[in-house]
Structure formats: structure tokens, C-alpha cells
A and B are shown apart, each in its own frame.
Chain A
Amino acid sequence: METILSINSISKSYGPIQALKNVSFNVPQGSVFGILGPNGSGKTTMLGIILDVLKADAGTYQWLGGTPNAEARRSIGSLLETPNFYHYMTAWDNLEIAAAIKQHGKDDRQAVLEKTGLWQRKSSKFKTFSLGMKQRLAIASTLLGNPDVLVFDEPTNGLDPAGIAEIRELIMQLNREGKTIIMASHLLDEVEKVCTHVAILKRGDLLLSGKVDEVLVSEDQVEVSATDIPALLSIISAMPGIHNVKQINGALQLNCDSHITPAQVNEYCMQNGIALSHLALRKKSLETKFMELTNK
């Protein structure tokens, strides 16, 4: 798999505050790469550096296998921190400037405004937009020229629940079209729902990075329930490969070895005379994992 972005030992300080400490990771082509961390962990600093608005103290990064940075930036769509547009200009004119700098995408303006639900407001000045509309315009701008790589910093900031769902769907759709998406977020739910890969930052340190499946692989939980819970509990606790059983709200949550599948659990229970009324595989929520990691 080709590498879209390669980050090598990047460090950055703001006076005494070390915002990034020797951070390295690669973003593979076709992934939805989540950069995750609490407020102040260095997510936006990282994105600012790879977009050349901030200067790293040390380390290097490489876009698209060594394409010069400005040229690479023209071919990717990026939203960093806040929607940045000329307040006195309309959505339409603002997109014209973005397209002129990118040197392509001027003819896509109608399509991207329609995609982000702003077509009716194309002639409104940016300063009259609500926060959510500003965010939509920023996303529209990233789509100019149909880029293969997108960088989103907190893309659902300021959006209402319907807007959040729409943007999520848009991100997943873009990924299905084969686009690589690099996304920073402090909203775990957001990352968990859309990301294939994740890098977790805490106070400038990279705690881990990799495929969401791999990072969370040993943490799967199986949830089971039956009419006779005490009987189920005694039987299931004896099953080889099950470490821990917790009773939560009329169901049992099982921590098991990675090779244990829900089918094996079901079979074991049937053999022991218990019919399951509920069986589900639950990945340990990213939130739990995240809290564990960042509270260490």
C-alpha cells in the first residue's frame, strides 16, 4: 500500500510547552486516518506543520512520495482549525479565490456547494453565515478539484446533529470513492465511526498508531444473555478462553482470548443446555481504550 504522508520525528515547542515530541507515523493510501487526542494534545499543531502554516523545530514530512509541498497542497483539500474566508465576500467568490490558488476546481463550485447544502446561499456574504454554514463552506472548499487526499481538522465542529451525520456520511462516501482522509478529532465517537486507522496523541507524545482493528483487536468483548442468567453465568465462566465475566443490565459481558468467536460461545452454551436469547460482539469502545491510554 502506497504511503500518502510520511511523518518523521517531528518536534515542536511553543516556548516552554512541548507541543509535539518526536512524532512519526505513516498514512497509507485509501485510509481514513484519525488523529486523536484530548484538547491540547498537539493534533492541530501536527496538521499545521504538515500544511506549512507552522514550522517544526525538528523532523521532516513528505507528501505523496516526495511531491514538493506547495504542489502537494494544491492537490489535496484541507480544512485546518477554523473556516478561513474573506468575510465581505460571498461563498461563490470565496471559492473562486480558493480555486485560483489551487489552479483548478473553479468549475466545481456549484457541485461542491450543492454537496454541502449551501447552493441556495451561494450569493450570501460569508459574514452572514452561521457557524455550521461556515464549516460547510470550508468542507465545500476542500472538495474543489475532486482531490484524492483530504485533511479535516475537527470537521463536525459547530454542526447540528443532522449536519454531523451528513458530514460523516460524506466522509465515508469519499473514502468509498478511494480517497484518503486524514482527520483530527477529539470526538472519539466520530473517529470510531469513520476511521480505518488511528494515531493517538497525548501532550505531544504519540501513544500508538495503526489500524483501528489491530489497535483494538485484543479488546473484543462478547455479550450474551439467556432466560436463566445465573445458570448461564456458571456455565460460561467455566468455558476455556474466557477470563472475566461481568453482569451488566441483564446481560453478561465476556472478556475473552482473541481466538474466541461468538459462534464458539453459542455452540458451547448449546452443548451445555442453554439457549442464548442475545449474542453480540462488542469491540471495546474507543472511548474506554482512549481513557485507559490517556490516563496512564
Chain B
Amino acid sequence: MNNLLSIEWMKVKKYPTFWIMAGMFAFLLPLWNYGINKGFLKMDGGKSGIDLIDKAYNFNNVWGNLGWWTSVFVVFISVLVIILATNEYSFRTNRQNIIDGWTRLQALHAKWLMVFALAAGTTIYVFITGVIFGIANDTISNFPGDITSLFYVFILSLNYYGFALLIAYLFKRSGIGIGIFFLYHMIIENLARSFINWRFDYPAGDLLPLQASDELLPFPLVEIAKSFVQTEEKITATTFVAVSLAWVAVYYIISRFRLLKTDW
């Protein structure tokens, strides 16, 4: 297993696109939050005069707050996953890896290990960023506060990257893969979710692949507002975690079936 991951690392460490995409995530996530924290980036356009979310960087709130922004910025890494997986098709190195002695399952597992490693890396990075924002806005004695959202960051990253990998395996070309990913993420899923939630009493639309994880990390203002108003949650966080993991399993099963049965 280590061997598979170390070979994947050999492939990415010399790849400029990897460093650019990962760097964009690593640079923009803290910079964006710094802007909000310092008040020069206003989420309500500065009209209301109320800046609740710039107060959300104490240890208790920083994880949920950073978690929400992570759910926006993970698209960089998701696109990176698509590029890395489709590169193997365009360079035909997917074939070469098999010819050189990997089994098809090893080739699949190498990429899935990379997805896990990227999800773990994202979570660790959000943790470090959270600690820095927390220390800057709170006393260290309040560390770690309500850190459950950090676990949700891992689940969400895993879900997004796993979904991106499946898209890459289904479409094999980076252009179409990235296009389909955004089309699904921004339009199809929103449309399907709204339709399902409008049509049925139970908000089953919230359980769609990416949305199931997005529900774990809602927009910070919503959370703060909820603390003032009593609302009834129809679906618990535990359910969203379980459904997100179930989707990851579905991506794995479909990708496994596809890679094992078809020509390369």
C-alpha cells in the first residue's frame, strides 16, 4: 500500500499543475478568511452593517467557519484529482503501469489512496489554518472548541475527491471531466435537490452525492442564526456522515467495476 502511494507521489511531485492547484487552495483559503476576519471582505456587501461572520474566528466557531469556506475551495483539489487521473489516459500511462506489472486493482487503489491522502492533507491544512486564526482571535485556553466540523471537512473532501475520481474514470478526458464536474456541482445537483425537496415532504434532495457533505458544513451565518431561533432538523449530522460515506463506497464500486471489466 505504501509502495502504491509512494509511486503516486513520484508522479505528482514533479508535476507543476499539482503545485499550482494545491498552492491556490493553500493560499486562497487563509487569505479569503483573513479578508473576512479583518473586515475588508464583506459577505453582505457591507449594506447591513452587521458583520457576524467576522466574529466567527474564535476556537468555538473557527472550525465550522473554515469548514464552510473549505467546501467552496475544495473544487481546486477536485479539479486536480480529475487532471491527475485523466492524465494517465492522455499519456496512456494507465496502460504502461499495467504493462510494467501493476494489477488493474493496484492501479485503482493507487488513485484511491491518493484521494484519501489528499483528503487527509486538506484536513490537516484546515486544522493548521484554524489553529492560527484561533490563536489570533481567541485565547489558547479555549482550544480546540467545537472541533467536530474538522471531521466533517475530512468527510467532505473525501466525498468531493472520490466523486472527481469517478468522473475522471467515466469520462477519461480532463476537459469533459472538469466540465461535467462543474455542471453537476453547480447546476444539476441544485436542480435535482430543489425539485426533490419541493416534491416530497422529506428533504431527500439534501442526500444527493455532494450535497450530503455540504449539509455538514453550512454557511456560518445560518448556524449563528439557528442559535437564536429554534429549528427542527429533519436529518441529523450522523445521517449526513453515513450517507456521504455510502456515496464514497458507491464511487469506489462503480470505478472498480469499470476499471476491472473494460479495455484500457
Which residue numbers of A lie inside 8 Å of B, CB to CB?
A: 48, 51-55, 69-71, 73-75, 78, 80, 82, 84-90, 93, 96-98, 100-103, 141
B10, B95, B99, B101, most chain A CB atoms within 10 A: B99
Hey, what's the 0/1 contact readout for B82-112 against A, CB within 8 Å counting as 1? 0000010001110111111111101000000
Verify if B230 is at the interface (C-beta below 8 Å from A): no
| CB-defined contacts of B16 to chain A, threshold 8 Å | 88
Neighbouring B residues of A86 by C-beta, 8 Å = 11, 14-15, 87, 91, 93
Extra pairs beyond A53-B98, A80-B99 (17, CB < 8 Å): A52-B98, A52-B99, A52-B103, A52-B104, A54-B264, A71-B101, A74-B100, A75-B101, A78-B99, A84-B91, A85-B91, A88-B15, A97-B10, A98-B96, A98-B100, A100-B3, A103-B101
A70 touches B92 (CB 8 A): no
Interface residues of B (CB under 8 A from A): 3, 6-7, 10-11, 14-16, 87, 91-93, 95-104, 106, 261-264
Least Cβ distance of B114 to chain A in Å?
Answer: 14
Nearest-Cβ distance from residue A276 to partner chain B, whole angstroms: 53
CB-contact partner of A101 in B15, B102, B104, B263, under 8 A: B102
Q: At the interface, is chain B mostly helix, strand, loop or mixed? A: helix
Closest 9 CB pairs of A and B: A74-B101, A84-B96, A84-B92, A101-B100, A53-B264, A73-B101, A70-B103, A53-B95, A78-B99
Contact A70 B99 (CB under 8 A): no
Could you give 14 example pairs across A and B, Cβ below 8 Å? A53-B99, A70-B102, A73-B98, A73-B100, A74-B100, A78-B100, A84-B99, A85-B91, A86-B11, A86-B91, A93-B14, A97-B7, A101-B7, A101-B97
Set of chain B residues within 8 Å of A54, measured between Cβ atoms: 263-264
- What's the Cα separation between A74 and B102 when bound, in Å? 8
B99 touches A73 (CB 8 A): yes
> Which of A53, A75, A78, A80 has the largest number of chain B CB atoms within 10 A?
A53
Which of B14, B106, B263 meets A89, CB within 8 Å?
B14
Instruction: Please name the residue on chain A nearest to B3 by beta carbon.
Output: A100
How far is A74 from B101 in the complex, measured between Cα atoms in Å? 4
Q: Kindly list chain B residues whose C-beta atoms are within 8 Å of the C-beta of A82.
A: 92
Give the distance in Å from the alpha carbon of A115 to the alpha carbon of B196 in the complex: 64
Say which residue of A74, A84, A93, A96 sits within 8 Å of B95 (CB atoms).
A84
Contacts of B87 in A (CB 8 A): 86
**A92, chain B: closest CB distance, angstroms:** 11
Residue of A nearest to B262 (CB): A55
Give min CB distance, B68 to chain A, whole Å: 34
* Residues of chain A with a CB closer than 8 A to B95's CB: 53, 80, 84
| CB atoms of A93 and B10 under 8 A apart | yes
Measured CA separation A261–B98 after assembly (Å): 50
Set of chain B residues within 8 Å of A75, measured between Cβ atoms: 101
Min CB distance B17 to A, Å, is 8
Instruction: List residues of chain B with CB within 8 A of the CB of A141.
Output: 100
**CB of A48 to closest CB in B, whole Å:** 8
Q: Could you say which residues of chain B place their CB within 8 Å of the CB of A70?
A: 101-103, 106
- Is A100's CB under 8 angstroms from B7's CB? yes
The answer for the CA separation of A211 and B92 in the assembled complex, in Å, is 34
Q: B15 contacts which chain A residues (CB < 8 A)? A: 86, 88-89
CA A125 to CA B87, docked complex, whole Å: 16
How distant is A148 from chain B, measured CB to nearest CB, in Å?
15
Q: Which of A53, A55, A84, A102 contacts B101 (CB 8 A)?
A: A102
Q: Give the shortest distance, in Å, between B1 (CB) and chain A (any CB).
A: 14
Q: Which of B87, B92, B101 has the most chain A CB atoms closer than 10 A to its own CB?
A: B101
A100 touches which of B10, B93, B99 (Cβ 8 Å): B10
A-chain residues with CB within 8 Å of residue B91 when the two chains form the complex: 84-87
Q: Is B14 within 8 A of A88, CB to CB? A: yes
A75 to B102, CA, bound (A): 12
Complexed CA–CA distance, A98 and B14 (Å) = 15
Give min CB distance, A128 to chain B, whole Å. Answer: 14
Least Cβ distance of B20 to chain A in Å? Answer: 12
B263 touching A53, Cβ below 8 Å: yes
Nearest chain B residue, comparing its CB with the CB of A125: B14
Q: Closest B-chain residue to A51, C-beta based?
A: B99
Hey, which chain B residues are within 8 Å of A93, CB to CB?
10, 14
CA distance A79 to B180 in the complex (A): 34
Q: Which residue of A has the minimal Cβ distance to B100?
A: A101
B100 surroundings in chain A (CB, below 8 A): 73-74, 78, 98, 101-102, 141
Contacts of A85 in B (CB 8 A): 91, 93, 96
A101: which B residues are within 8 A, CB to CB? 7, 97, 100-102
